[in-house]
Chain A
Amino acid sequence: KAGVTQTPRYLIKTRGQQVTLSCSPISGHRSVSWYQQTPGQGLQFLFEYFSETQRNKGNFPGRFSGRQFSNSRSEMNVSTLELGDSALYLCASGGSPFLEQYFGPGTRLTVT
């Protein structure tokens, strides 16, 4: 099976812009979670989708949003980018929300 894929792998944006990141889970997986990883805050949970429904949301401002499509692919969007949004954004998929997660390689977002 192909692993979790994330596009793009690297992204440079300017403050105030918006960005959309994409994640394709492992075939058959219905759960997709998003995480933000920074040196200062570590791995922080953004949100989790299961069968197109957001099941859990982390403690992030409303500028961070996501969605999941019927084929389980997921996107996350960050509007009005701030310098502090620079991070590695990781997507993980799983067969169930409470079993092991399989991570993609991440999207490295740099906001200048």
Chain B
Amino acid sequence: SQQGEEDPQALSIQEGENATMNCSYKTSINNLQWYRQNSGRGLVHLILIRSNEREKHSGRLRVTLDTSKKSSSLLITASRAADTASYFCATDAWGQNFVFGPGTRLSVLP
């Protein structure tokens, strides 16, 4: 399976600091996506990066993809308390369903 695995499992930072989360997967993919989930609610799509892209930005988010290492990272700059949530990476490959990792729980302390 191409299951993604996020690292670390939990992360606590102060407001204004940057947060970096990593995702590793096992097989070739088409796309890798990052989602955010606030406690017990639906997931919100953050960003999609295709297998032929290496870096993508969206506001305070920066995602990198290294297909040779089968890994991706999500950087949130100048974090805010509202960024407190769980973050998941999801991978897909042709003919296969989305696979989500176990998530990183981010706590941004005021």
The total of chain A residues at the interface (CB under 8 A) is: 22
Main SS of chain A's interface residues?
strand
Determine if B97 and A33 form an interchain contact, defined as CB atoms under 8 angstroms apart.
yes
Q: Are B33 and A45 in contact (CB under 8 A)?
A: no
In the complex the two chains form, is A100's CB within 8 Å of B97's CB?
A: no
Q: Which of A42, A43, A48, A100 has most chain B Cβ within 10 Å? A: A43
The reply to whether A42 and B103 form a contact with Cβ atoms under 8 Å apart is yes
With an 8 Å Cβ cutoff, the count of chain B residues facing the other chain is 23
Q: Is the CB of A106 within 8 A of B98?
A: no
Asked whether any CB of chain A lies closer than 8 Å to the CB of B81, the reply is no
Cross-chain contact B33 with A106 (CB below 8 angstroms):
no
Q: A48 near B45 (CB under 8 angstroms)?
A: no
A42 and B102 contact, CB distance less than 8 A: yes
Known: A98-B30, A99-B31, A106-B40. 13 other contacts (CB 8 A): A33-B98, A42-B103, A43-B88, A43-B100, A43-B103, A45-B97, A56-B95, A56-B96, A90-B43, A92-B43, A101-B43, A103-B35, A103-B43
- Hey, which bits of chain B sit against chain A, CB under 8 A? 30-31, 33, 35, 40-45, 48, 88, 92, 94-103
Q: Which 10 A-B pairs have the closest CB atoms?
A: A103-B42, A43-B100, A56-B97, A103-B43, A100-B45, A45-B97, A42-B102, A105-B42, A100-B48, A104-B42
